[in-house]
Amino acid sequence: MTLRNIAIIAHVDHGKTTLVDELLKQSGVYRENERVQERAMDSGDIEKERGITILAKATSVEWKGVRINIVDTPGHADFGGEVERILSMVDGAIVLVDAAEGPMPQTKFVVGKALKVGLRPIVAVNKIDRADARADEVINEVFDLFAALDATDEQLDFPILYGSGRDGWMAPETEKPADASLAPLFDLVLDHVPEPTVGEGPFRMIGTILEANPFLGRIVTGRIHSGSVRSNQAVKVLNGEGKLVENGRVSKILAFRGLERQPIDEAHAGDIVAIAGLSKGTVADTFCDPSVTEPLHAQPIDPPTVTMSFIVNDSPLAGTEGDKVTSRVIRDRLLKEAEGNVALKVEEAAEKDSFYVSGRGELQLAVLIETMRREGFEIAVSRPRVVMQKDDTGQLLEPVEEVVIDVDEEHSGVVVQKMSERKAEMLELRPSGGDRVRLVFHAPTRGLIGYQSELMTDTKGTAIMNRLFHAYEPYRGEIGGRVNGVLISNDMGEAVGYALFNLEDRGPMVIDPGTKVYQGMIIGIHSRDNDLEVNVLKGKKLTNIRAAGKDEAVKLTPPVRMTLERALSWIQDDELVEVTPKSIRLRKLYLDPNDRKRSEKMKATA
């Protein structure tokens, strides 16, 4: 059977996964009476809750006797490590663009990688039924983007389709035809995307997706570059330098058939398959016949830009909510994650029971922490810090991101002011339709940590911010941090409503009455810039004298809810977020007040 391998790439929320749902339905993957879940490719709990794709996944459909392998890729640049590997598996790409928003930064990131490896894209303008759709302008923006990314003449001569992935149709014109379906898209894939190029020689395959299966062990997905592979065949694994990783046998070959993976006896060059049976081979390694000596070239991966400390939880409440608390268990889990996720880097810190985890952005690290807490881990994590570099002359360089903010015109002034305070340079300000403007900045990554929640407050929740790593540039100087101090509990016990009520004039709380607290735990935001130790365990003194006035019930202001991402970006360098399966607590790095004073003195003298 002839093959086509394609990736669907787009900015987050432009409808990739929904389009894949419709492609599966219209190609006859489902039975007529089969119950179909929405966004079938977003299989993880966190993916379903957030409505974003985190892990790249493969599926396949048949159309007119041709098998089309489709890879759904993440739209967030934080998960870009997934995208860079996936592009080596495919021969074509469908670039999905929102008919109103046009190409966004993450689109630029993925398209740039796709054009670099020589893929000829198909442009599909999605959500054409939106009231604010502007198809012609969007196509011009896509062309300008391709030209700016040094596309070749063949790549600039891209075919265009318009339609709605949700309603299941694509057509060469913007008007919905009477026989609306996705047939034009399927036909265009067959005509425009070349058959897989096959190398000469015995079996070789580069690993691109790694997963663990409770029955089959490690499963590595990749595209067979040359030759063929059979069940029980002897293979070896080479790393990027050509050194032997292991020898072994293929215990099972799984081919993608719709959403299911079916075991097959033999797979040939050009097909995307998953193989099991090897215990050490990982992503970017070459799986090959024992006679092969040279590994295949793997795509280089952009470096991590943000790092965090993962520390064994040592608070007085440690071990009360999770069952995975020791440094050995945390270390094994982090190393396992880094093995399958090439954009993550894990190092053991000099301090005991602490690890440095580096990634592409706060979201990527927050998703890892969220996944770990759901698995029963308890950890304390530090504020994200940027990964600095030095050039040949010894000058300090820091990561700078391209930031695109879409906002209502009335709020643009405050956004420009706040961004300039964070050492951002404004590149562009232009209207984006409907009394909204699009602002484009180059801003240091460290200035953007914690800005998302502030932006939402400043713009009454109407702004949309997208970020993309741009380059390492000279250090831009000091950036002011958080202006408020914190309220710290001075004892261990359960917070009392009466005590919280009396502390309200000191600042908003971050805990509810009845919350377990301990010495050194942060319970509120101080209205001034210094930290203040307070007693939240103090109840009302009761007497046996009846008061003339009736006691009023204590009415508390609702506390500030700290989500994981908000907590990570809000804390300072001398604070930690304690993450357990049931709670997210904020605390000081040193719980004892005397230790905190000693640390401040040492900083002052240093």
pLDDT tens digits for 411-459?
989 999 999 988 999 998 888 767 888 899 999 988 888 787 788 888 8
| b/e per residue 468-485 (b: at least 16 CB within 10 A) | bbbebeeebeeeeeeebb
Give the relative orientation of helices 183-192 and 16-26 as an angle to the nearest 10 degrees.
100
Give the span between the Cα atoms of 30 and 259, in whole angstroms. 9
Just give the CATH number of 2-192. 3.40.50.300
Q: Looking at mean pLDDT, say which of 25-39, 346-360, 372-386, 561-575 comes out highest.
A: 372-386
Give the span between the Cα atoms of 55 and 76, in whole angstroms. 10
Give the span between the Cα atoms of 165 and 69, in whole angstroms. 18
Residue 454, burial from CB neighbour count under 10 angstroms (0-12, 13-18, 19+): middle
| Percent of the chain at pLDDT exceeding 70 | 88
User: Which tokens hold the place of 133?
Assistant: 């759709």
Q: Looking at mean pLDDT, say which of 26-30, 334-338, 506-510 comes out highest.
A: 506-510
Find the Cα–Cα–Cα–Cα dihedral 238, 243, 249, 254, rounded to 10°: -20
| DSSP letter (8 states) at residue 556 | P
Q: Is residue 128 marked as binding?
A: yes
Give the span between the Cα atoms of 521 and 64, in whole angstroms. 64
The whole-number pLDDT of residue 42 equals 44
The whole-number pLDDT of residue 573 equals 86
Give the span between the Cα atoms of 107 and 103, in whole angstroms. 6
Nearest one of 100, 147, 155, 80 to 122, comparing CA atoms: 155
Q: Is residue 136 marked as binding?
A: no
Neighbours of 16 (CB within 10 A): 26
Helix (H, G, I), strand (E, B), or coil: what is residue 248?
strand
Q: Decide if pLDDT at 40 tops 50.
A: no
| DSSP letter (8 states) at residue 337 | H
Q: Which helix (H) or strand (E) holds 273?
A: strand 272-276
Same fold, 204-288 and 389-474: no
The whole-number pLDDT of residue 36 equals 43
Residue 519 phi, psi dihedral angles, 5° rounding:
-60, 130
Lowest mean pLDDT among 3-7, 519-523, 526-530: 3-7
In the chain, domain spans:
2-192, 204-288, 389-474, 486-605
260 or 442: which carries more pLDDT confidence? 442
* DSSP letter for each residue of 386-422: E--EE-TT--EEEEEEEEEEEEEGGGHHHHHHHHHHT
Give the span between the Cα atoms of 167 and 127, in whole angstroms. 9
Kind of pairing, strands 286-288 and 204-213? antiparallel
| 321-362 pLDDT tens trace | 988 989 899 999 998 888 767 678 888 888 878 999 988 777
Q: Tell me, which fold does domain 486-605 have in CATH?
A: OB fold (Dihydrolipoamide Acetyltransferase, E2P) (2.40.50)
Residue 488, CA atoms < 13 Å, CB-side half-sphere: 22
What is the rounded average pLDDT of the residues 381-395?
88
The whole-number pLDDT of residue 543 equals 67
Q: Mapped to the 3 state alphabet, what secondary structure does 29-74 carry?
A: CCCCCCCCCCCCCCCCHHHHHHCCCCCCEEEEEEECCEEEEEEECC
Q: Is residue 14 marked as binding?
A: yes
Bridge partners, 123 (sequence order): 95, 160
Q: Is residue 126 marked as binding?
A: yes
User: Which tokens hold the place of 166?
Assistant: 């949700």
Q: Is residue 353 marked as binding?
A: no
Categorize the per-residue pLDDT at 54 as very low, low, confident or very high, splitting at 50, 70 and 90: very low
Residue 506, burial from CB neighbour count under 10 angstroms (0-12, 13-18, 19+): middle
Give the span between the Cα atoms of 572 and 485, in whole angstroms. 10
The whole-number pLDDT of residue 178 equals 83
Nearest one of 336, 352, 229, 241 to 288, comparing CA atoms: 229
Neighbours of 451 (CB within 10 A): 21
The whole-number pLDDT of residue 35 equals 45
Q: Is residue 127 marked as binding?
A: yes
Residue 276 phi, psi dihedral angles, 5° rounding:
-125, 160
Q: Which CATH class is domain 204-288?
A: mainly beta
Q: Decide if pLDDT at 110 tops 90.
A: no
CATH 3.40.50.300 holds for 389-474: no
Q: Is residue 18 marked as binding?
A: yes
Q: Is residue 526 marked as binding?
A: no
The whole-number pLDDT of residue 79 equals 53
Answer yes or no: are the C-beta atoms of 551 and 497 closer than 8 Å.
no
What is the rounded average pLDDT of the residues 559-570?
86
What is the rounded average pLDDT of the residues 403-411?
87
Q: Which pairs with CB-CB distance under 8 Å and at least 24 residues apart come from 336-339?
A: 336/212, 337/368, 339/210, 339/282, 339/283
Lowest mean pLDDT among 23-37, 58-72, 564-578, 585-599: 23-37
